[in-house]
Structure 1
Amino acid sequence: MTKPVEDPTQYVLDEAMAYIHAAALRAATVLGVADHLVDGPRAAGELAELTGSHGPFLRRVLRLLATRGIFREDDDGRFHLTPRADVLRADAPGTIRAGVLAVTSEVYWQSTGDLTEAVRHGELAFDRRYGKPFFSYLVAHPDVGAMFNEGMANFSAGEVERIVASYDFPASGVLVDLGGGFGGLLLAVLRARPGLHGVLFDRETVLAGHVLGRLGADDRWEAVAGDFFEAVPAADLYLVKNVLHDWTDDECVRILTNCRRAMNPGAKLLIAELVLPEGNEPHYGKVLDLFIMLLLPGLERTRAEYERLFDQAGLRVTRMLPTPSAYSLIEAEAAN
């Protein structure tokens, strides 16, 4: 069978309209459509009554999402839950509902619309529109900050077990999770290694929502507020996930240098990031890189770019490990 010839015009038009898919996804998520399909398929009119929405409009939204496997419409016009739609349920295992709501919220939509001017002037779109840096804005607007923190914790939850299973964490010692947010990853590591003592290190406003109390052993962990640009606690292993991509090279070197100075003898540093592959192949990190470019001074990096940062901080990369997710783990130690 002959493979259809791609129509480049239609392909580019589809790409130009791709933002409609994200808008439809947000609408279905806000309305909680997936939650109403757990017990079986329903027609759009019934779903509209349950979600307080307009039936004909809702059907058109779900019909579009079904073209990407998010819901499925049958011959009777009823919509079914699919694996891709199931993760939008609030109480589903591995739910990413909070994360979807965070990244599709207005504060990010507005910044995305300013991408052309950002590229033209080399300025952060977020700063240009909102008049202050991203993290300062989150502090000034606690509701947006809470949404961001919950969204990031939600996305991270699906990666935690994969990361824990991909690295041989030590049986004992002190593990410091730098910029660890609510501590979901640290909690999983401490559960897997009962002899480890954990330190969750982040801003005070973030630590207020930490989940380490779920461990049930208060003597095995502590939540420490601080600024990793100034100093970090001593540790046998530093865990740094989704932190370095927020910052410039110079700022990353400051963070890594502080780790190098505070390291206990023989300590390791473990970075979890979306390490970019070379070439033109699609990769989630290349999408997130533009998202970062709109909001923050950082960027996603290749392995060679990370190695240069470690070298400047007096660290040496010992190995890079893949995980079942899009993330890679980079292990480093003191260079001398």
Structure 2
Amino acid sequence: MDSQTPISMRLSVPLNALRAFEAAARHLSVKEAALELSVTASAVSHQLRILEDCLGLELMRRNGARLELTETGQMLAPELTAGFSRIVQAVENLRQDRTSGPLRLSMLPTFAVHWLSPRLISYPFDRAGFELLISTTQAPVDLAAGVADAAIRHGKGEWPGLLSDLLFDETVALLGPPHLTGGSEEALRNAIGEANLFLSQHRREAFEEWNATLPGGPVRPAAITIVDSAGLGLKAAIDGAGITLAGAEIAGADIGAGRLVPFFDHRIAGGGYYLVYPRALERDRRIRNLRQWLVSATPGRTR
């Protein structure tokens, strides 16, 4: 038979019946097998009858109060025990791989470069349980499939099947290099009117909202260039090529260093950044360690 044929197509008897027989054969007791499998004794007996009916063979018989394996049962039982042992070991190996070694952490490139990187100097990489393997991507990775162990995502904290811990809420502001952001309100509006706005494709609606709610009326940049990420917009503004709309918290290190300055005091809510992970890793010490450090590295947050 083709080795590539799915096991569901090759197995001609119910798997539950095989499990029931293996446990009963190992214990030589229907009651003990039922306790191991967390089912009733009658359920085990029913599965044994199903297996014997499917095979057309007698596998075990009762001799007074004891169970005895027939010759056929004696041939089958050790093979099943070995097979189920391999399955258990394979699952345990996966579980061990999932909960040991570096925590595989996925995040947006903008978060990695502008928020995480300036703070990594304080991260305890040398401590056990804090090891990280960091990757960046614009698209969310499938945590349920094990592509990564955890991720930092932007949104409202709602990802089906995953747990999420809020790191910080975001406020969106218009930012530019220092030489464009000084002076009176009229001077600021004039500077915006002569500047190129590098706008993330994900921030179009946010700019409309920010502009529509700007005290004193909306501004009109000389040009708007759509880019694929807020990070590229921030880099363009830092390099003096124009202005950008971005989360003030993400740009906090650049603002603190004087590389970027907000236009006006006007900000709007922009969602939040969350540490996201499968429920199976809720008690993983690597998750707990990372969460504790992220909270401590976030101004205004407490454990």
Same fold by TM (over 0.5)?
A: no
Q: Which band: TM-score by shorter chain?
A: under 0.3
Which of the pair is proportionally richer in strand? 2
Bigger CA radius of gyration:
2
Q: TM (normalized to structure 2)?
A: 0.26
Q: TM (normalized to structure 1)?
A: 0.24
Q: Which has the higher contact order (CA 8 A, sep 6+)?
A: 2
